[in-house]
Structure 1
Amino acid sequence: MVVEHLDAPDPESVVEATKAAVRDGAMLTVSANCQVEYEGRTSGHLGRGDRILVAKPDGTFLVHQPTGHKPVNWMPGGGSVSARVSEGEAVLLARRTNPSERVEARVHEAYAVTRFDATDGATYEESGTEAEMHEYIESNPAVLEKGLRIVEHERETKYGFVDFYAVDEEGTPVVVEVKRIQATLNHFDQLQRYVSLYEESNGEVRDTEVERASIANGEAASDVRGMLVAPSASERVKRALRDNGLEFVGLSEFETDAKGSMEAKLSDF
């Protein structure tokens, strides 16, 4: 393992260190005051500020601001990173061809450059999977609602598998859809389809305990509630659920900053 650090490097030293890291397959971090330009599917500009630039051997390039865990600009792996001196300043450029994109960081002042010849062959193993969420809910239905009782787990329908059929304290059937990541509008649509299917079939599960529980409590079995369960949801998703008579239950104990939580789309916010 090799770690090399330069304090207050001049533009030529930043460029030389970047080229050497790219050539040798090393990680590089640059602490700098810089501005960033993006061109590709859209275009963007980030004015001057203190940031950390990260270049990885697979072509990944990240621009981190002092706050927040996500990069403000980035280029995924599969591209290339290069460096040059332009008008007396170091310029780092990450680009790829499919799709055609580029992120260019102009370094006005470099505070430090660190090269890290890292090796890491470990495989990430995530705990708290969706299956574990299912087990947790099945063993502890009260975490969703007091008095809720699970009737059936993973019932197959023409739209896919419904995670849980349950019944509440009043005997009303509850369709429960569970998601491991932040709830999205796609998840809302999926729950809505399952609830609609139940309503259209006039209670497809009437031969199950759901029907018997409803009758015992004097409730109409055709009434059904829809419940989306996830670690979190944006206000837009929660509003869509409320507007359509559906519900959201957050299980924050399963929330994580790991890779799965990044699957939410910009359209879900």
Structure 2
Amino acid sequence: MTTERHHAPDAQTVERVVREGLRDGAMISVMAECEVEYDGRSGGYLAPGDRLVVCKPDGTLLVHRPSGHKPVNWMPGGATIKVEIEDGDDESAPDAAGAPLLYARRSNPNEYLRVFLHEPYLLTRFDADDPADYRERGTEAEMHEYIERNPEESLGDGIRIVEHERETKYGFIDFFARDAEAVPVVVEVKRRQATLNNVDQLKRYVDLYRESNPEVRGMLVAPSASDRVKRTLRDDELEFVRLAEFDVEKREASEKTLSEFF
């Protein structure tokens, strides 16, 4: 595995490391004061500031500000990325003389992104190897499997699943069940916090069955719900069931600034 790290590299070092890294399929990152120009489906300009620039082997180029998880400028995978030392002949960038330039271009659509690295602080090359598949836990499909295996534990004593994903004119009901008194129960499952739109969806399903049986119960199952959603459910004679096992921990966002890496 090849790795390189250069503190305050000069323009020639940046050009060499980026050029060789792009040739070899390495991942390159540069912490630098940089200036960004974009032209393509629209136009954009970002004045100089301290940012993190990442080049990936698939042609992705990302420019990150010191805060926030989304890049402020980027070129998606499939772009051609080149590096050169800007000589200052480009009148559109008169202050870029001598600055390493990262240039990413796509032909469909025709667009380009230019990143002038005015003052590189830290340059790294990392020949990464990542063959692993991403497997998401706590999906809605896993919630369905859990409910099917544990209907009474998850939905209440006496609940028996009759059918999974029953079709109606409004779409598929996640579960059609019956309680201990043989009363039909319509169950709608949501992976995230329940919303008022989810309540409306459940109500449409339940109303279909209440036309012939006013005793039909409706359950909205989710990891959490706001007081407003719970109140709306009660007003519509519907129920909320919380599956705590699938609750996502709420953590306060913690975003480092670039200065913490120097």
TM-score interval, smaller chain:
0.5 to 0.7
Partner of 2:252: none
5 Å matches for 1:72-221? Answer: 72-86=72-86, 87-88=96-97, 89-137=99-147, 151-152=161-162, 154-158=164-168, 159-165=170-176, 173-179=185-191, 188=197, 192=200, 195-200=203-208, 202-203=210-211, 220-221=214-215
* Aligned-pair CA distance for 1:50: 1.9
Distance 1:17 1:140, change over 3 A: same
* Aligned-pair CA distance for 1:90: 1.9
State the identity as a percent: 39
Partner of 2:2: 2
Aligned length: 232
Equivalents in 2 of 1:201, 1:147: separation in Å?
A: 22
Q: Is the 8 A contact 2:38 2:114 kept in 1?
A: yes
Q: Helix, strand or coil for the counterpart of 1:14?
A: helix
Q: Helix, strand or coil for the counterpart of 2:70?
A: coil
Which structure has the greater CA radius of gyration? 2
Distance 1:103 1:229, change over 3 A: farther
Equivalents in 1 of 2:111, 2:193: separation in Å?
A: 29
After superposition, what is the alpha-carbon deviation per residue over 1:209-255, rounded to whole angstroms, capped at 9, x for unaligned?
Answer: xx5xxxxxxxx336x6573736x89x9xx99xx7xx79897969554
Partner of 2:11: 11
Equivalents in 1 of 2:245, 2:78: separation in Å?
A: 34
Partner of 2:254: none
* Aligned-pair CA distance for 1:165: 4.2
* Aligned-pair CA distance for 1:49: 2.6
Residue 221 of structure 1 aligns to which amino acid in structure 2? E
Task: Choose which of 224, 229, 239 in structure 1 pairs with 2:222.
Answer: 229
Residue 90 of structure 1 aligns to which amino acid in structure 2? P
Equivalents in 1 of 2:48, 2:153: separation in Å?
A: 47
Partner of 1:259: none
Q: Is the 8 A contact 2:177 2:187 kept in 1?
A: yes
Equivalents in 2 of 1:164, 1:49: separation in Å?
A: 54
Unaligned runs of 5+ in 2: 87-95, 250-262
Normalising by structure 2, report the TM-score: 0.65
Partner of 2:63: 63
Equivalents in 1 of 2:107, 2:243: separation in Å?
A: 40
Residue 229 of structure 1 aligns to which amino acid in structure 2? A
Distance 1:125 1:177, change over 3 A: closer
* Aligned-pair CA distance for 1:8: 0.8
* Aligned-pair CA distance for 1:75: 2.3
Q: Helix, strand or coil for the counterpart of 1:69?
A: coil
Q: Is the 8 A contact 1:192 1:226 kept in 2?
A: no
Residue 21 of structure 2 aligns to which amino acid in structure 1? A
After superposition, what is the alpha-carbon deviation per residue over 1:35-56, rounded to whole angstroms, capped at 9, x for unaligned?
Answer: 3333444444444332211111
After superposition, what is the alpha-carbon deviation per residue over 1:96-139, rounded to whole angstroms, capped at 9, x for unaligned?
Answer: 22333433322221001111122232323333333222234556
Unaligned runs of 5+ in 1: 212-219, 257-269
Q: Helix, strand or coil for the counterpart of 2:105?
A: strand
Distance 1:172 1:197, change over 3 A: closer
Normalising by structure 1, report the TM-score: 0.63
Q: Is the 8 A contact 2:176 2:184 kept in 1?
A: no
5 Å matches for 1:21-36? Answer: 21-36=21-36
